[in-house]
Structure 1
Amino acid sequence: MLNILRRRYWYFGISMLVMIPGILAVAMWGLPLAIDFTGGSKLEIKMEGDINLSTSSIATLLDDNGFSDNVVQIADNDVVVIRTKTMDDLSKGVVIEAFEDEFDVAVELLSFESVGPVIGREVAGRAVQAVAIAAFGILGYITYAFRGVKNSFRYGVCAIAALLHDATIVVGLTAILGQYFDWEVDALFLTALLTVIGFSVHDSIVVFDRIRENLNRYRRTEYEAVVNLSVVQTLDRSINTQLTALFTLFALALFGGESIFHFVVTMMIGLFSGTYSSLFNAAPILVVWEKREWRNWFRSNPI
């Protein structure tokens, strides 16, 4: 039988190699917060004509009209999304008029919204609270659900460890993409992150539930062997479930438009990470904890 857990420290090392660049990116650059969290304005307009738009030309046009701190996105070559500091109705009219004069086309206002800095801070605070409450709720639920298993608390802690692994990868990669490709952390990102957390916990529970069944079935078998058997038995199911979701998300990334592209890619990254962490992090941590291997970390190589 395939011995997956034999190389568990390799899996931990791979996770660290993926997480460390993201952690450093957040520490150095911070998160590219959108107006949902910082306050500001978002203007979405449609150009009624066959013209070639570029973000650089639009940014120059905005700079010339006094809007220097802005982020520009182009969707479907005729829809322009502008994020900038708080803009009033007068400034909005100036921008639309500037576009009409510059490109000699009619401009249709699709949407306009402004968020004050106080509201932005409140949203950010509530987002952090939501994640924290979800984590504690998950810990309590798993501990209770696995109360028939010895040391059920460990299963909750390992699920939280996998959850934090996935959240760290998603947040860190977003910080890197924000630095180089102008990605932003907005309300859709928060939705994607919470969904990833849900998938991560679900995958971990599937593995843990199989471990519980096998512990009752193979009472005289070594704990590591039971956990390894459980991981092998759930491997196909986890991969197939992930591929089904990824194919759907890939189609959305290709044909869903720019407005949800970042959301979909974030989901894809998180789902892949969630499957990896539930199989190759959460379950192996249970074995490390059961065998108290940390006592030998500085005595010999446990690999």
Structure 2
Amino acid sequence: MINFMKYKYWYFIFSLLFILPGIYFLFRYGFNLSIDFTGGSLVEFYAPASIDSLRNDLASNIKIGSLQQTGPNQFILRTESLDQASHDQLFNQLKLKYSEIESQRLETVGPILGRELIKKTLIGILFSTGFILVYVAYRFRDKKYGICAVLAMLHDSLIMLGVFSFLGFYFNVEIDALFVTALLTILSFSVHDTIVVYDRIRESQRLFPKLTYTQLVNKAVTETLTRSINNSLTIIFMLLALYLLGGITTKWFVFALLIGTISGTYSSTFTAAPLLVLWEDLKSDKNKKLLISSEANN
């Protein structure tokens, strides 16, 4: 049995090295929101031309949100809302100069739908978090398990949000509906891994009643760590293959899953479990102070 909990404060410090810069970027720069949230149109097209030339010609016809080159002669344009007629008129105009230009995809989202998606996203996250808190606390018959599991989820959420705020500021990466899907998926993965560790702690409490709580947690972490790492590596290798070989439309969705999987694997063992030990330590210190105070009064 390895004494993992001996270094619990180092685990917290390591997490803060990622969380605090992420929080700074979140409050300082926010997110680069896609049209899924802001409303507007996305046009994916082929054009054998330079991005600067295209940007100048597009700017003379429409208000450009952003223009990105995603591959050889492949571009994605984000702009104000375009209907089909305006889209066709724009590309007919561009064909006068770029005869081989070809529109491949048009997506339009209204501002009302964007606001509705934000509302549903927040409701979904709050509902799932509340349900997990109640479920874990009920299953383990102790509120500390539910609270610590939710704190581990918050750890993973802040890391993912911070990373994408950073990527949005420096690399123009957008937050879209797929990111929300990735976030909810990772939260479920994280809490599942956490429950495995917690379940082993509960089982050890029944089988080894003479062990201290810290020893029980160390035993549970030692027994589940290899399984957790192997399980996560399987997912990570698959996601790496999808990231390297998949298309541009799923690239950042897969990247979000990759970051979340790594963070979730870490937090279930080195955040959720140490938080339980910290909870018990604080509870024990409080009880000792109450006992000393009671004896002093007598």
Question: What is the DSSP-based 3-state SS (H/G/I as helix, E as strand, rest coil) of the residue aligned with 1:103?
Answer: coil
Measure, in 2, the Cα distance between the counterparts of 1:176 and 1:72.
Answer: 19
Q: Equivalences for 1:1-303 in 2 at 5 Å?
A: 1-47=1-47, 51=48, 53-68=49-64, 70-107=65-102, 109-147=103-141, 152-292=142-282
Measure, in 1, the Cα distance between the counterparts of 2:93 and 2:193.
Answer: 52
Contact 1:75 1:257 in 2 (8 A): no
Q: Post-superposition shift, 1:94?
A: 3.6
Contact 2:68 2:75 in 1 (8 A): yes
Question: What is the DSSP-based 3-state SS (H/G/I as helix, E as strand, rest coil) of the residue aligned with 2:251?
Answer: helix
Contact 2:81 2:109 in 1 (8 A): yes
Measure, in 2, the Cα distance between the counterparts of 1:25 and 1:197.
Answer: 21
Q: Deviations over 1:166-195 (max 9, x none)?
A: 011101110110011111110100010011
Measure, in 1, the Cα distance between the counterparts of 2:164 and 2:113.
Answer: 23
Q: Post-superposition shift, 1:67?
A: 2.4
User: What amino acid is the match of 1:24?
Assistant: Y
Q: Post-superposition shift, 1:229?
A: 1.0
User: What amino acid is the match of 2:91?
Assistant: I
CA RMSD, aligned part only?
1.8
Aligned in 2, Cα 1:138/1:54: closer, same or farther, shift over 3 Å? farther
Moved more, 186-195 or 89-98: 89-98
Ranges in structure 1 where 5+ consecutive residues have no aligned partner = 297-303
Aligned in 2, Cα 1:94/1:205: closer, same or farther, shift over 3 Å? same
Aligned in 2, Cα 1:63/1:230: closer, same or farther, shift over 3 Å? same
Q: Post-superposition shift, 1:55?
A: 4.0
Contact 2:32 2:168 in 1 (8 A): yes
Q: Post-superposition shift, 1:206?
A: 0.9
Question: What is the DSSP-based 3-state SS (H/G/I as helix, E as strand, rest coil) of the residue aligned with 2:96?
Answer: helix
Q: Post-superposition shift, 1:26?
A: 1.0
Q: Post-superposition shift, 1:257?
A: 1.3
Measure, in 2, the Cα distance between the counterparts of 1:223 and 1:24.
Answer: 36
Q: Taking every aligned residue pair, what percent have the same amino acid on both sides?
A: 41
Question: What is the DSSP-based 3-state SS (H/G/I as helix, E as strand, rest coil) of the residue aligned with 2:32?
Answer: coil
Measure, in 2, the Cα distance between the counterparts of 1:145 and 1:213.
Answer: 13
Q: Post-superposition shift, 1:81?
A: 2.0
Aligned in 2, Cα 1:251/1:185: closer, same or farther, shift over 3 Å? same
Measure, in 1, the Cα distance between the counterparts of 2:26 and 2:284.
Answer: 29
Ranges in structure 2 where 5+ consecutive residues have no aligned partner = 287-298
Measure, in 2, the Cα distance between the counterparts of 1:202 and 1:118.
Answer: 35
Q: Post-superposition shift, 1:31?
A: 1.4
Q: Post-superposition shift, 1:85?
A: 1.7
Measure, in 1, the Cα distance between the counterparts of 2:97 and 2:169.
Answer: 30
Q: Deviations over 1:217-250 (max 9, x none)?
A: 1101110011011111111011111100000000
Contact 2:39 2:113 in 1 (8 A): yes
Moved more, 92-101 or 167-176: 92-101
Q: Deviations over 1:35-63 (max 9, x none)?
A: 1111111112244xxx3x55444333322
Contact 1:42 1:81 in 2 (8 A): yes
Moved more, 14-23 or 81-90: 81-90
Measure, in 2, the Cα distance between the counterparts of 1:57 and 1:194.
Answer: 40
Aligned in 2, Cα 1:197/1:227: closer, same or farther, shift over 3 Å? same
Measure, in 2, the Cα distance between the counterparts of 1:283 and 1:209.
Answer: 11
Contact 2:45 2:101 in 1 (8 A): no
User: What amino acid is the match of 1:252?
Assistant: L
